Amino acid sequence: MLNHGRALSGAVLGSPISHSLSPLLHNEIFQLLGLTGKYVAQEVKAGELATFLRARSDDFTYLSLTMPLKEEALKLGLPVEASVLVAASANTLVKVESGWQLYSTDGLGFRRALTHSGISTLDRVLILGAGATARSIAQVLDPIAKSIDILGRSRSREGSFSELVKKSDFNFLSWSNQIEFSDFDLVINTTPAGAADSLAERVEKPVATLFDVLYSPWPTALAKRWSDSGAQVISGSELLLYQGLEQIHLVSGVDFDFEELAAPLRKSLNRALL
């Protein structure tokens, strides 16, 4: 943990960013922990991250990264946490004495969200999408899943996953609307809004849990069809919640009970999404 010994000033960067609930989440965490801090949203488009850091670096002690910046951040030549190098995905920039350092809390947050939902062991996992978030998730699932299948639109990303998944059996599947969800016990949608809508018609009576990392707009077409079928659905607000808590844990140096803090935060996020 990094204890800066001063007020925290954070922001979530990405595009589009107006829908983000990260400011609500982080500012409420500050209040609950008695921390002095302020957190805002900043529109930063693809290709603009380096320029933003040069112009605004003195304004922040940490930054959260969302689409489309999680891969772009690795091109900045900054010090990188080991797990970020493996997954080739970063969602957190932390101010250190030498400048900025890259971290990722996506995988840890995802794992905590699964545990909260009562999922600790897995047989067959299907991840929809092959981007930065998918890699972070595959990394933390590798030790606990017997097999991990990736459904991707381009086989150019297959190599990065085959290097990442070492303990689980691994398959890379070309995108197809003919996928059989009944073959899996956990399906994770990491694609952008609308990208997996066409797969909703394949949902009949799944026994799998769907974890959709999106939370706005909610429910997605896939999540609604899944829920209507009677199977368990986990919203992306759970990933937002736990990865945000991991970020505060990282940058504040404060120890806290994650589940105790998550309860009121979950209520606030749910109210905001109504």
Q: Which residues are catalytic?
A: 70
All residues at 6 or more sequence positions from 109 whose CB lies less than 8 Å from its CB, including other chains: 239, 240, 241, 242, 243, 244, 245, 246
Within 10 angstroms of residue 150's Cβ, the number of other Cβ atoms is 26
CA distance linking residue 12 with residue 247, whole number of Å: 11
CA distance linking residue 124 with residue 145, whole number of Å: 7
3-class state of residue 36 by DSSP: coil
User: Positive or negative, the Cα torsion across 77, 82, 83, 86?
Assistant: positive
Q: Please name the residue that has the structure tokens 């606030």.
A: 268
